[in-house]
A = this chain, B = another copy of it.
Amino acid sequence: MNKKYPNELKVWKGMEVKDAIQEFSKAGFCARGLGEAHYVWKKMLEDKECVKILSAAGALVPGGMRNVFTTAIKTKLIDVLVLTTGSILDHDLIEAFGVRHEQGEVNVNDVELAKKNINRIYDVYLPNQGYILLEKKLREIFPKLPQEELSPSQFLYELGKNVEDKDSILRVCAEMKVPIFDAGITDSITGFHTWMYSQDHKLKLNPQLDIRDFLELVWKRKRYGLIILGGGLPKHFVAGMMQVTGNSLNYAIQITMSRPEYGGVSGAPLREAKSWKKVAADALTADVVCDATIAFPLLVASLL
């Protein structure tokens, strides 16, 4: 990208999100990263050989991102979803089964909330009833799934087909044939109930098999793009799969509030991954330091 002059950034009445994001690419600091992310994602969309992977960590469904995910999937902004633990899985299913997350307060007495069976996620409340319903509904669905050993991606595809709620991320992924990988599914309530069910049924979940399924995907494609929301295990998983297969990401966008100084994978800027060859030396990259609840909807809206 060519040098730009921050003083040329403008705002105006009736400005569209797409314009704002493009203006940001003239700015400095965090706005610039967001503008560059738009550019990198657009280049990814133009590259017909590129598989576009979205990795997501964190409680993004409670944060309000459900429709942003399904919109991005339906409009083919992404081809593959990589999750961590149950952060998105459990919350999407709870919503699908009818219990809604709602706005709450941060500065609250958590022991009092506990007495009311309300679980808090920063400023969002989730009635604990949601977990009781999750168990009940999963137990109804499990018998309909293939009674055999499944990888998380196979399992989540089969599960998605059995979710009725049309706004469910799992269902939309199943419909759009967007695979969902989740190497950390063991650490989720869905993972727990699947294990419980597998004690006396043939349905088994084996997270190791997502290596097999993900490698198959890697080998079928030539170019790779990754949009990272929040870092964590799913970022590491995709990057690690690049490392073990000798491939590199050709495009990468990272949206995170984590910082690099304590050496964690979530906050490591994308250029660090170039030393590992997980990101190609000539890859187009954008580091966005902004909460995903702000940056992700703006990016998706700007690319529709």
Interface residue ranges, A against B (CB under 8 Å): 3-20, 23-24, 26-34, 57-68, 71, 84-87, 95, 100-104, 106-111, 113-114, 118-124, 128, 131, 167, 183-184, 186-189, 191-192, 194-195, 198, 204-208, 210-212, 230, 232-233, 236-237, 240, 243-244, 257-265, 268, 271-277, 281, 289-295, 297-298, 300-301, 304
A19 to B58, CA, bound (A): 25
Min distance, Cβ A121 to any Cβ of chain B, angstroms: 5
Q: Which residues of B contact A272 (CB under 8 A)?
A: 110, 120-122
Supply 8 A–B pairs (Cβ within 8 Å), ascending by A.
Answer: A28-B121, A29-B291, A32-B103, A58-B264, A85-B233, A85-B236, A110-B275, A294-B295
Contact B121 A26 (CB under 8 A): no
A17 to B187, CA, bound (A): 36
How many of these chains are in the complex? 4
Contact A244 B189 (CB under 8 A): yes
**Given A23-B297, A59-B264, A67–B10 Cβ distance below 8 Å?**
yes
Contact B184 A233 (CB under 8 A): yes
A268 to B58, CA, bound (A): 11
A287 to B101, CA, bound (A): 21
Checking B9, B31, B183, B273 against A184 with a beta-carbon cut-off of 8 angstroms, the contacting residue is B183
Q: Which residues of B contact A59 (CB under 8 A)?
A: 28, 263-265
Most-contacted residue by chain B among A119, A194, A232, A259 (CB, 10 A): A232
A131 to B268, CA, bound (A): 20
A12 to B16, CA, bound (A): 11
Min distance, Cβ A262 to any Cβ of chain B, angstroms: 4
Contact B189 A183 (CB under 8 A): no
A297 to B19, CA, bound (A): 12
Checking B62, B204, B297 against A20 with a beta-carbon cut-off of 8 angstroms, the contacting residue is B297
Checking B26, B63, B262 against A263 with a beta-carbon cut-off of 8 angstroms, the contacting residue is B63
Contact B9 A67 (CB under 8 A): yes
CB closest chain-B residue, reference A32: B123
Contact B29 A66 (CB under 8 A): no
A211 to B191, CA, bound (A): 9
Contact B101 A7 (CB under 8 A): yes
Min distance, Cβ A5 to any Cβ of chain B, angstroms: 5
